[in-house]
Amino acid sequence: AQSVAQPEDQVNVAEGNPLTVKCTYSVSGNPYLFWYVQYPNRGLQFLLKYITGDNLVKGSYGFEAEFNKSQTSFHLKKPSALVSDSALYFCAVRDVGYSTLTFGKGTMLLVSP
């Protein structure tokens, strides 16, 4: 089975500070990992993915994520948060033996001015 956990319902950060949104996963094989963002009243948008190779992957809007196999984590990061980054963030995983993604429950990111 494949599963993903986002341990924080909400993350609060001040504008200009670095942000981290946490994600851990469970798979039996090699994971394919993804981050999506959902702005209010919109559908989800793809941010970035890890398939193989470099553990640090870069994505849209200045976001990056670090794959850590030993800790089974794929945390989303950004060096300097913007108020416009406030949104709901979803982590997702696909095990090598599966054909579809499993999403986490989402983490609300609130960036204050």
Partner 1 sequence: EAQVTQNPRYLITVTGKKLTVTCSQNMNHEYMSWYRQDPGLGLRQIYYSMNVEVTDKGDVPEGYKVSRKEKRNFPLILESPSPNQTSLYFCASSRQLKTVTANTGELFFGEGSRLTVL
- Going by the DSSP 8-state scheme, the letter that residue 16 receives in this structure is T
Q: Pick the closer one to partner 1 by CB: 41 or 70.
A: 41
What's the closest the beta carbon of residue 13 comes to partner 1, in angstroms? 21
What's the closest the beta carbon of residue 108 comes to partner 1, in angstroms? 11
- The encoded tokens of residue 75 equal 């945390």
Footprint of partner 1 on this chain (CB under 8 A)?
32, 34, 36, 41-46, 49, 90, 92, 94, 96, 98-106
CA distance 20 to 9: 13
What's the closest the beta carbon of residue 16 comes to partner 1, in angstroms? 29
User: Residue 104: which H helix or E strand, with range?
Assistant: none
CA distance 49 to 55: 11
Please check whether residue 103 is in contact with residue 47, taking contact to mean a CB–CB distance below 8 angstroms: no
Q: Pick the closer one to partner 1 by CB: 16 or 97.
A: 97
Q: Pick the closer one to partner 1 by CB: 82 or 101.
A: 101
